[in-house]
Structures are given as structure tokens and as C-alpha cells.
Amino acid sequence: MDHSSFENTYNLYWEELYGYCLHHCKDNYRAEEIVQDVFLSLWERQHQLLMEGSIKSYLYKAVKNKVFDFYREQAKKNTLLAELRLKLCDDTCLTENEVYFNDLNSNLGKAIDSLPCRCREVYQLSREGGLNNKEIAIQLSISEKTVEQHMTKALRSIRKKIDSHA
């Protein structure tokens, strides 16, 4: 294809291909870019092309393929953006949860430290040591009822202090 026949082909089909492309991709700039790319490729590869059928059907097929490529690229970008947004949200939520957990843990530690000595001891043996009321009573030489009273007092005090920080 010489320069003159290429120019004639360009002038004959450019606007028609542009309209076809615009109809499919709904973006003036993108439609123009796609049609220009198709004609540039035609010019650069004119000696390598083996066309079956008319130049018009070749050009339409090339534009259609470029539009598909555009949509594939857009879908890939949208997928990556969605994954990034999800990751950022997860990271933000995780960070907020970590801050909340650390704050809650700190307040719990302060609430436990503020308990009266024997009450704190009963609470720690139960919650941190995993002992039941009977085992605590034996270890501290107090009645099970006293253990229950200390635990009730400890839990009420801790709950009150944590609720006041929330």
C-alpha cells in the first residue's frame, strides 16, 4: 500500500470507524486514540499483513479488537482498585481494632491494678490462673462464699471502670 492509497483509505474510513468505536467505548478521546492506533498499525505493518477480505472489514475487526483490549484493561484496573480499596479498608479496620483492643487492654490492666489486694488476688487466680472457686478458697484459706464475694466485687468494679472509659 503506497502513501496515496493509505491516505485515501484513512480519509474514507476514519470517521466511520471513529463513530463505530465511540458507540462502543463512549469516550471521545479513547475512540480517537483507538482509531489512530489502528491506522498507525496498518501503516507500520502494511508489508506484513495478510488480509482476507476487504480493507474495511479488516479495519472494523481491528477497531473491535482494540475496544475489547481497552475493556479488558479497564476491568483489570477496576479489579486492582477494588482489591486495593478492600485492603486499605481492612488495614484501616484492623488498625482501628488494634487501637481499640490495646486501649481496652490497658484500661483492663488499670482496673485490675486498682482492685483491693485480696480482691485482685482472687480475680487473678480465677481469670489468669484458671482456678475454680473451691481451689482458690483452699489456696487462700478462705471460704468459697468469700471467693464468690471477692469475684463479684472485682467484676463489678472492673466493668464499671471499663464502661466509664468507653
CATH for the stretch 114-165? 1.10.10.10
Residues in the chain: 166
Contact call for residues 66 and 30 (beta carbons, < 8 A): no
Contact call for residues 133 and 148 (beta carbons, < 8 A): yes
What does the buried/exposed string (b/e) look like for 120-157 if buried means 16 or more CB atoms within 10 Å of the residue's CB?
bbbbebbeeeebebeebbeebeeeeeebeebbebbeeb
Global pTM? Answer: 0.50
Does domain 3-85 fall into CATH 1.10.1740.10? yes
Ranges under pLDDT 50 in the chain: none
- The DSSP result for 87-122, as a single string, is HHHHHHHHHHHHHHHHHHHHHHHHHHHTS-HHHHHH
**Helix H or strand E segment including 12:** helix 3-25
- All structural domains of the chain with their residue ranges: 3-85, 114-165
The SS3 call for residue 85 is: helix
C-alpha cell at 27: 469516550
Query: Which pLDDT does position 94 carry in this prediction?
Result: 65
Question: Whole-angstrom Cα distance, residue 138 to residue 49?
Answer: 94
Instruction: Quickly tell me which residue has 483509505 as its cell.
Output: 9
* Residue/partner pairs of 70-76 with CB below 8 Å, 24 or more apart: 70/25, 70/30, 70/34, 71/25
